[in-house]
Chains A and B, each alone.
Chain A
């Protein structure tokens, strides 16, 4: 019944030790992923979403350090892995696509070489000719028009959308089990974004690769993802299936996010709902709920104690005191929906 988990993260904590103090970027997150799932991680800047996934593949730079927790990839402990094993993990099992296509590709090396470099890193024995053929096939897979000629191009000769496709080709070169895409379409235009997202969806259908899609755009999540994790202030606020998150929202932050987006169907002229205030400082994080300072329905208990997760269904959980069974029912008429 229980599908074997591809990735399991338990109580991960990551901090940056800076001059100003310890910035607790990720404060205790736990989640899991099975094969073939597309999970969307939604959060704003400072929510810790990018840092969390850099930690998963241990790509953190100084002064960042993983301070606690456990990361299991197909049952194996990632934090304890030797460098050799880690490199194999990154080469063969996990692919990553970053946000800025401008800076993710080496501007002095031709695109074809960058792809074959990746292919040969994971498949040592492969010959140059074969690698090149594979690279061409990859570019065709990502629907780059004129794939063969683009093998000889430099990154700066290509547009943002094309570069992102190349990034994608590099990431999938080794048939990874997991693809992590960190805001892959944020820097792209809407029509190009549409194309890239379609590519991601088709790729998943064809290969059953799991995809983690990190974004701040709820529309992207609604269209592409099956599962959603909402992060804020270094912690997971709400997690669930996409329908549950959008139609049975159980957290004030998620509600706020949804309401902040202008409804293109809305013909009226009322004010946009906006969440007051700014994200919390992570050097001295609040001891209660991270969202407390900006929440309309904050209560004294929210300031003092961080709420636990309350399960609303087998797939849906949320961190909010309003869901506590002890919550007085007469106040509940103000409800969450």
Chain B
């Protein structure tokens, strides 16, 4: 750069015109705040994956129940406790049998679709065998220490046996014959609805309360925060339990109970944000201009605190899901037969040894959703942190 004396070039001594100088420029790439946030979020693979999972869950919950073709409350008692994967045994003459864990035998079609129950000819528990007659053939259902077996007339196991996916009910049925899939999807609807609405209430109440408290300062702030702290001294679950005992079960009731108690932490968070921003010069400039306090809070303080607020809201969704599930599990949440993941867990617990899928399915659903929102919340927190800005 400095050492090219040897390079011969013509030195043009003509003075430079002002336009050629381009002295007053602004920085090149215009990246707005949200563009930068999105870019950083995109780099976080886990967060992007979580967004997809959440989108899938939302989609499944919204339109899923309509697509399954079954209602969440219809019972088919004969097909109760059917697992998602069933074993179809085929006899010599091509008849397909399905042996239900409850010691009942069903007929099935070739593709695995179970049709009707076969009544036993003799069902004597003391004999440790049930006798069935079909198509002029006798079959024996023998149960012993090493399991239940269906044997043909020669007391031998049936030639073919295949484990297939349950064609009647994709995810099996519960203890009174209701379709697990539909109940799971519908339960998702309820759980997510409760979680979202409670979060919105948290946002609205918490932000306003915290904003006003933080901005007012002095005694108003001290008083408002003492109220919050006193309320927080008792775990919110206890408040919810008391309220639900009073209100009774129901979606609407659980919504109200949770909304009343969830805003406390958000209020504290927002108040902290507002306090730290309050003395910044652009707020002073707004005050100096004569902007009214409410407008300062809405126009200046809140948009600048939105980062931590969003993160907190995102992370409160899994907490709300868990709380609702817990309340429904202990019988103080949604009213049956309306399903929610908590209720499904409660109902499934009784059959945990014979039909573990009944409790596994809602548990997996809850866990997956909570993980997804947690990862998204973490990703958002990193993306919104101004210090990590490169």
**Is any CB of A less than 8 Å from a CB of B in the complex?**
yes
Shortest beta-carbon distance from B19 to chain A in Å? 11
Residues of A287-337 at the interface with B, using a CB-CB cut-off of 8 Å, are 292-294, 297-309, 319, 321, 324, 326-328, 331
Chain B residues, CB < 8 A from A303: 16, 20
Shortest beta-carbon distance from B383 to chain A in Å? 13
Q: Indicate whether B29 reaches chain A with its CB closer than 8 angstroms.
A: yes
A: number of interface residues (CB 8 Å): 35
Partner of B28 from A277, A278, A284, A326 at Cβ < 8 Å: A284
Partner of B24 from A278, A301, A305 at Cβ < 8 Å: A278
State whether A299 and B12 are in contact (beta carbons under 8 Å apart), knowing that A20-B28, A306-B2 are contacts in the complex: yes
Q: Indicate whether B289 reaches chain A with its CB closer than 8 angstroms.
A: no
Q: Indicate whether A63 reaches chain B with its CB closer than 8 angstroms.
A: yes
CA A20 to CA B3, docked complex, whole Å: 30
Mask: chain A, 1-43; 1 = CB below 8 Å from B; 0 = not:
0000000000000000011100000011000000000000000
Beta-carbon contact of A309 and B2 below 8 Å: yes
Partner of A308 from B4, B20, B25 at Cβ < 8 Å: B4
Partner of B29 from A20, A309, A327 at Cβ < 8 Å: A20
CA A326 to CA B24, docked complex, whole Å: 31
Q: Indicate whether A222 reaches chain B with its CB closer than 8 angstroms.
A: no
Beta-carbon contact of A18 and B390 below 8 Å: yes
Chain B residues, CB < 8 A from A18: 390
Q: Indicate whether A190 reaches chain B with its CB closer than 8 angstroms.
A: no
Residues of B79-93 at the interface with A, using a CB-CB cut-off of 8 Å, are none
Q: Of B1, B9, B22, B390, which is in contact with the most chain A CB atoms at under 10 Å from its CB?
A: B1
Mask: chain B, 1-34; 1 = CB below 8 Å from A; 0 = not:
1111100010111111000111111011101000
Shortest beta-carbon distance from A99 to chain B in Å? 19
| Majority SS at the chain B contact face | loop
Mask: chain B, 323-357; 1 = CB below 8 Å from A; 0 = not:
00000000000000000000000000000000000
Chain B residues, CB < 8 A from A276: 23-24
Beta-carbon contact of B25 and A278 below 8 Å: yes
Partner of B21 from A27, A292, A331 at Cβ < 8 Å: A292
Chain B residues, CB < 8 A from A299: 12-16
Beta-carbon contact of A281 and B27 below 8 Å: yes
Chain B residues, CB < 8 A from A327: 13
State whether A298 and B2 are in contact (beta carbons under 8 Å apart), knowing that A283-B28, A303-B16, A304-B12 are contacts in the complex: no
Beta-carbon contact of A293 and B28 below 8 Å: no
CA A226 to CA B49, docked complex, whole Å: 61
CA A283 to CA B320, docked complex, whole Å: 47
B: number of interface residues (CB 8 Å): 24
Beta-carbon contact of B16 and A302 below 8 Å: yes
CA A294 to CA B16, docked complex, whole Å: 11
Chain B residues, CB < 8 A from A324: 11
Residues of A53-103 at the interface with B, using a CB-CB cut-off of 8 Å, are 63
Shortest beta-carbon distance from B8 to chain A in Å? 11
Chain B residues, CB < 8 A from A307: 2
Chain B residues, CB < 8 A from A19: 39, 390
Which residue on B lies nearest to A28, using beta carbons? B1
Q: Of A293, A303, A307, A326, which is in contact with the most chain B CB atoms at under 10 Å from its CB?
A: A293
CA A304 to CA B23, docked complex, whole Å: 16
CA A321 to CA B25, docked complex, whole Å: 24
Which residue on A lies nearest to B13, using beta carbons? A299
Chain A residues, CB < 8 A from B1: 27-28, 306
Beta-carbon contact of A292 and B16 below 8 Å: yes
Beta-carbon contact of B23 and A278 below 8 Å: yes
Beta-carbon contact of B12 and A28 below 8 Å: no
Which residue on A lies nearest to B27, using beta carbons? A281
Beta-carbon contact of B25 and A281 below 8 Å: yes
Beta-carbon contact of B9 and A305 below 8 Å: yes
State whether A298 and B16 are in contact (beta carbons under 8 Å apart), knowing that A18-B390, A293-B23, A319-B2 are contacts in the complex: yes
CA A281 to CA B1, docked complex, whole Å: 18
Partner of A331 from B4, B13, B24, B390 at Cβ < 8 Å: B13
Partner of B13 from A293, A301, A305, A308 at Cβ < 8 Å: A301
Beta-carbon contact of A293 and B15 below 8 Å: no
State whether A301 and B12 are in contact (beta carbons under 8 Å apart), knowing that A281-B28, A308-B3 are contacts in the complex: yes
Shortest beta-carbon distance from B18 to chain A in Å? 9
Beta-carbon contact of B2 and A28 below 8 Å: yes
Chain B residues, CB < 8 A from A27: 1
CA A19 to CA B39, docked complex, whole Å: 10
Chain A residues, CB < 8 A from B390: 18-19, 63
Shortest beta-carbon distance from B180 to chain A in Å? 48
Sample of 19 more A-B contacts, CB < 8 Å, known A321-B13, A326-B11: A19-B39, A20-B28, A20-B31, A276-B23, A278-B23, A281-B28, A283-B28, A293-B23, A297-B15, A300-B14, A300-B15, A301-B13, A302-B16, A305-B9, A306-B2, A307-B2, A308-B2, A308-B4, A309-B2
4 tightest CB-CB pairs across the interface, nearest first?
A: A277-B23, A300-B12, A298-B16, A293-B23
A-B contact pairs, 22 of them (CB 8 A): A19-B39, A20-B29, A28-B2, A277-B21, A277-B23, A277-B24, A278-B23, A283-B28, A284-B28, A292-B21, A293-B21, A293-B22, A293-B23, A294-B21, A298-B16, A299-B15, A300-B12, A300-B13, A301-B11, A301-B12, A304-B9, A305-B11
